[in-house]
Amino acid sequence: MNEEEEKYDLKIILLGSSKVGKTTLVNRLTQGTFENPEQTTGATFSKKKYQGELQEYTFSIWDTAGEERFDSLSSFYCRNSGCELILYDITDRNSFTNLDRFFDKLQYTNEDSFVILIGTKLDLIEETSKLRKVTLEEGKKKANDKNSYFFEISSKTGHNIQELWETVGDLFEKNSQKNEIKHRQDNNHFQINSFTNNQKKKNCC
Amino acid sequence: MNPKNNNNNNQSQKQAKDLENEKTGFLTKLGGVVKNWKNRFFVLNDGVLLYFVAKEDCTPRGQKTEEERNIWVDAIDKSREKHLKRIQVEKRLIEVDGIVKPEEEKKKVMKKWSNIVNQPLSIIQGNLEKLKVLARKGVPSSLRGKIWMNISGAVIAKEKKLRTVLLAFSSHRNDVQYAQGMAFIAALFLLYLSTEDAFWLLNHVMSEYRLIEIYKNNVYGLRKLTTVLNQLIQAFLPKVYKKFEEIGFLVEFIAGSWLPSLFLSNSALWFGIRFWDMFIFEHDPEISILSFTLAIFHRSQNILSKVLSVDQIFAHFKILRTVKLEDTCSNKKYYYFNIDNIISSASNFQKKELFQKIVKSEIEKFDQANVNEEKEDEKYLEVYKDYLL
């Protein structure tokens, strides 16, 4: 299938201060690799398939620039997102105390969207826990206050990455099952029509 | 070492392991003209299969192309699975008693190396002894450049240069300091200039070409440019504008990733460089940035006016990150990223009166609407002036 004709079932957006590991997490998720990426300007976009219970879905993943001066732009990117991953670095206190500016952006997201708070760079504290600047409990409490899910991960070792991805998928499926019932009642016929129209258009152009 | 002896199997296997990149071993092959079985030393390296009369022989016989080689390797692999001693390949019989190691092993070695390349430098240096052993068996040619740069430390020296330039700039212009995107610009300059010259050029383009405005005051300039760009798209590419409105695409999405580095990130290097070739000669940076960005949209308008979702637009422009310069000239699929066409389209826009008019009036409008913000900025500048004196 042509890349340009693909449909995306869920928009996932990554937020967090610069250097917390947003792009690294995207690379881990989409390519399974760990490397030192270039800095992100604006936003970049990638996709990943999720094997659901009944069918396969394609999720789009939006990675944003973390620098504060670009905040006015990242509000644009948040529009209609269905899942927000908000990241902080467990070895950098500032990235944790700064979190509220990202939670404030959630007003731009869609109403069933879910939030996952993620503490990154777990591998760094495996050898010496001295480096840890944000405790597990603090992270959990923050997530609880903001009504979001919580993970501590390492993109380097892959720790909790699979669990994180499955949680995203599960939450998405739960949401879509809820919505499907609603959709079936009023939207079904219209959707089929508009779909076939689009197909025709593509063929003749 | 006697190659003609089958008992040497173990020894030659060990030897082949030493040369992990190269697969070597002894096969008995049936002669093409004279039909008798001969023991020959085979070497499989970089997609070419050669065989030699003896191991010490330097003249390769029967050089194989990649296609032929694949047939051979497949046949040999199959024979192994079925424990065959003798197989037929391309009308030739060969007896499998030697070792041509399967492709997978080559892939394994490649994977080992590419994992190493992707490690942070500190980890690479911590494992230097292990790597040394691996390197004695040869570094895969596709990764050689990267490995050499990393191991020798040249990469650090290069990064240090970049850091020096950016640090110098951010302390010189402490009204903006460092902003994401500048690193790409400084890195481009360092490709062609010394550290000191790169600093001067960076400082000069930032102030004289007013690039600093892009980053200043919560990316005021970036917001201004994208607002004007939006008006330009409405005027010159109405179909695209309509589509963007329909699916909820904002030019900020894509311009936000191009403009902070002026086309040096999220696009192939050759693409950004050609913009800079043009940009340096322009006296009005807003005009050149806006006409170039508009031209990119213009060249892609057929695709953009047909997309079904925001994501498809991103997927379309993602191609720009990896597309090769040749392909934009020779492959119809990528014509819309042909840089010569984009630049000529940009200069056409610049010549249009309407274009100039819109840019001028929209910039004024934006500045007026955000006059308070502008003042705040001036206050900031006052402070900065004191600092300079």
pLDDT at B7: 45
The alpha carbon of B256 is separated from its chain's Cα centroid by a whole number of angstroms, namely: 20
pLDDT at B19 over 90: no
CB atoms A42 and B309 under 8 Å: no
Would you give the end-to-end CA distance of chain A in angstroms? 17
pLDDT at B2 over 50: no
CB atoms B181 and A41 under 8 Å: yes
CB-based contact A25:A155 (threshold 8 Å): yes
pLDDT at B318: 87
- Sign of the Cα pseudo-torsion (A29, A32, A34, A40, in order): negative
CB atoms A205 and B265 under 8 Å: no
Question: What's the rounded Cα separation, in Å, for the pair B76 and B85?
Answer: 10
Nearest to B182 by CA among B285, B264, B270: B264
Question: What's the rounded Cα separation, in Å, for the pair B28 and B335?
Answer: 52
| Residue range B97-136, pLDDT digits in tens | 444 445 556 667 777 777 776 666 667 767 777 777 777 7
More confident: B12 or A70? A70
Tokens of B341: 């066409």
More confident: B58 or B303? B303
CB-based contact B243:B304 (threshold 8 Å): yes
State mean pLDDT over A31-53: 83
Nearest to B49 by CA among B67, B34, B31: B67
User: Per mean pLDDT, which range of B23-32, B269-278, B366-375 is the poorest?
Assistant: B23-32
pLDDT at A139: 94
pLDDT at A175: 85
Give yes or no for B263 touching A (CB within 8 A). no
pLDDT at B94: 53
Give yes or no for B111 touching A (CB within 8 A). no
pLDDT at B4 over 50: no
pLDDT at A204 over 50: no
User: Which residues does B111 contact at the CB level (< 8 Å), separation at least 6?
Assistant: none
pLDDT at A136 over 90: yes
pLDDT at B282: 82
CB-based contact A18:A65 (threshold 8 Å): yes
pLDDT at B21 over 60: no
pLDDT at A168: 93
CB atoms A7 and B308 under 8 Å: yes
Most confident of A56-70, B146-160, B196-210: B196-210
pLDDT at A86 over 90: yes
Count of beta carbons in the 10 Å neighbourhood of residue B308: 17
Q: Which of A35, A77, A198 sits opposite B253 (nearest CB)?
A: A77
Most confident of B27-31, B39-43, B209-213, B370-374: B209-213
> Confidence band (pLDDT; 50, 70, 90) for A140?
very high
CB-based contact B349:B294 (threshold 8 Å): yes
Ranges of H-type helices in chain B: 9-18, 66-81, 103-118, 121-126, 128-136, 144-152, 154-172, 182-192, 195-208, 212-236, 238-247, 251-258, 269-280, 285-299, 301-304, 310-322, 325-330, 339-351, 353-369, 371-388
More confident: B143 or A85? A85
CA nearest A205 in B: which residue?
A: B306
Paired sense of beta strands A10-15 and A83-89, if any:
parallel
CA nearest A194 in B: which residue?
A: B308
Residue type, A11: K
User: Which residues does A118 contact at the CB level (< 8 Å), separation at least 6?
Assistant: A25, A85, A86, A87, A88, A150, A151, A152, A153, A164
Tokens of A82: 């269905």
What's the Rg (C-alpha) of chain B?
30
Domains of chain B, earliest start first: 3-100 (no CATH), 103-212 (no CATH), 218-388 (1.10.472.80)
Tokens of B173: 């212009």
Best to test chain A binding among B314, B322, B333 (most A CBs inside 10 Å): B314
The alpha carbon of A203 is separated from its chain's Cα centroid by a whole number of angstroms, namely: 34
CB-based contact A17:A94 (threshold 8 Å): yes
3-state DSSP assignment of residue A113? coil
Nearest to B187 by CA among B172, B214, B169, B175: B169
Give yes or no for B318 touching A (CB within 8 A). yes
User: Per mean pLDDT, which range of A157-161, B289-293, B325-329, B362-366 is the poorest?
Assistant: B325-329
Question: What's the rounded Cα separation, in Å, for the pair B203 and B169?
Answer: 7
Question: What's the rounded Cα separation, in Å, for the pair A46 and B318?
Answer: 9
User: Which residues does A73 contact at the CB level (< 8 Å), separation at least 6?
Assistant: A42, A43, A64, A65, B219, B222, B223, B252, B256
**Residue the block writes with tokens 């919560």:** B218
DSSP states of B250-312 as a string?
-HHHHHHHHGGGTTSSSS-HHHHHHHHHHHHT-S-HHHHHHHHHHHHHHHTHHHHTT--SHHH
pTM above 0.95, yes or no: no
**Residue the block writes with tokens 């000239």:** B329
| Residue range A94-130, pLDDT digits in tens | 999 989 989 888 877 778 889 999 999 999 888 778 8
- B30 secondary structure, DSSP code: E
User: Per mean pLDDT, which range of B164-173, B283-292, B378-387 is the poorest?
Assistant: B378-387
Tokens of B190: 């360092």
CB atoms A45 and B318 under 8 Å: yes
State mean pLDDT over A173-180: 82
Q: Is the ipTM of this complex over 0.85?
A: no
State mean pLDDT over A65-77: 79
Find residues 219-258 of chain B whose CB sits inside 8 Å of chain A.
Answer: 219, 222-223, 248, 250, 252-258
CB atoms B257 and A42 under 8 Å: yes
A63 class by beta-carbon count within 10 Å (0-12 exposed, 13-18 middle, 19+ buried): buried
Give yes or no for B316 touching A (CB within 8 A). yes
pLDDT at B374: 54
Mean pLDDT of chain B: 77
pLDDT at B37 over 80: no
Contact residues, chain A, for B180 at CB < 8 Å: 18, 39-41, 65-67, 70
Nearest to A137 by CA among A193, A96, A178: A96
DSSP states of A64-111 as a string?
E---GGGHHHHHHHHTT-SEEEEEEETT-HHHHHTTHHHHGGGGGS-T
